[in-house]
Chain A
Amino acid sequence: MTAVVQPRPVEGRSLWQDGLARLRRNRAAMASLVFLVLMALACLAGPYLTGHAYDQVYRSYVKVGPSLSPYPKAEAIAPAALDALKRARVDVGEPVEIVGESVRIPVSSSRELDPRIVRYVDRVDIFSGARLEEIAADGRSGVIVADIERFTFLFGTDATGRDLLTRTLIAGRISLTIGLLATVVAILIGVTYGAVSGYLGGRVDLVMMRVVDILYSLPFIFFVILLVVFFGRNFVLMFIAVGAVEWLDMARIVRGQTLSLKRQEFIQAAEALGVENVGILRRHIIPNLTGPVVIYMTLLVPRVILLESFLSFLGLGVQEPMTSWGVLISEGARDIEGNPTMLLFPAIFLTTTLFALNFIGDGLRDALDPKDR
């Protein structure tokens, strides 16, 4: 053979690049993508910025409504102070004065004032750094001065007085993680299983697909309850439960696709070249499955999130104080009349995310569908 020069290759444009170019023109899908990225960032970084820990309980602020201005409200301070000192066996004089960022509470007692009574005040979330000042000579009266702690609860708080914004963002982490991980698990198992079953065909296919049929026939909730009974409630269990069910669909879809791919001439060409089964699966079948698989994946993520929400709603999901959107919605639904915002905010987060994922899925289907060209 004569020496052949190796010219610089011209870059080609793969079907993927074509598809992505089409996707980029789809406004709804692109907006959804941006939204999802923002949502993911908010869920990741947000909890550090809200100023509240997701499991910190503010007993003074149980079920307060959403507000842009910080708590406590001016009119709530005096009653809170009186309430706090109720058990201190002291007489609280009038008036309770609010001076700038601190509160002055005149107290008197028939006995000498015990300086430890300030703890009653400190114990309330509204106040901090309480101290006894201006003690009278006989020690029987004085003024408790306490700083007022101001908290902002943009979304309000939940039934145990935890910041709903922080909890919604933390819940988003859990829901999105379960959505992604369970989907990846489902796809890994499903694609491998379906492609092998479809490609090998014959008796192997028959057995493998009957196994799928049997697994299909197990009632999902029953299956999850069994798992919970045996292993207790556990975050990892969620992946297993959801992944174990969702890969069945994936396997069937992939098997169908593989069956039609198998008849394509390029597969026969590879067989005629002597390529082994593993090579055909890896180089020819699986790459050609990416289109349907990616589309199915974007539609599977919302399904998994919903499934998790459903399980959490039933009380089979993640455990307190950890939470997910499903748990929050379930809690909010319990108090829908008294405090609808507790339901509203997590529900908005969940539905917008699901919308965005569905839009992306639709966009991808339009962009990657080969019949379109």
Chain B
Amino acid sequence: MNIIELLGFGKGKTPAPRDCKKCGAHISGEELAENLMICPECGTYMRMGAMERIALVADKGSFKELDKDLGNANPIDFPGYKEKLKDAKKQSGISEAVVCGTCEIGSCPCAIFVMDSNFMMGSMGTIVGEKITRLFETATKQRLPVVGFTTSGGARMQEGIFSLMQMAKVSGAAKKHSDSGNLYVTVLTDPTTGGVTASFAMQGDIIIAEPNALVGFAGARVIQQTTGEKLPEGFQRAEFLMEHGFVDVIEDRRRLKFTLTNILKVHAYGRKRAKSS
């Protein structure tokens, strides 16, 4: 398997070269693809787009996108928002901050949503909330587990109260899914903050995080300004959350698919159950 193909860049295409924000190393596109967007010099995890993540964990060719383009919403007619959405679409090449669909992970069928920080910092507005809600509803009907990758700056303020209400809406769908006896696994990726942390990111039966991912409710700078206290080392990082009991597993990106497959199989998803039932 060609790792460049795996990451969804297509034949002959590679990701754009990047400088590692931590160690400053200049990394070529080939190296980035080979290392699954982990810095080969210092091991820093770089952010991945939604389609790259799907390529990382979904069995090849199994992903079927749902509700690909629900359009965009501007429920409170916020000044300048329409233009901002247009720019975000152009820059990111995707239509909103989450991609949803069904796929197989290690031959286990599941519903999957992947947020994308390239689109307005992964902020959650009504379209994001609607897409994830629909995914949970589909998964509940089809008795599929949901695997959700989170990355978000929080609720999208340009949609005002409607953004805030998406937290309740998605929570309702996640609750129904859970009450019907279905599994929900979240994978917290860098960064997951605000209203997403305070809703569906933290509602998984099992919560996985990528190493060193920033995960929190209030912004670190806001906390520092409000309290005047010095923030402890590693504050709001995945390891900090695990130490305080809020994360089940911190998993290496190279082992993530294996671990997800394992979790799905333990919960009796996959081909074996289909045969025996």
Same complex: no
Binding site for B on A (CB under 8 A): none
Binding site for A on B (CB under 8 A): none
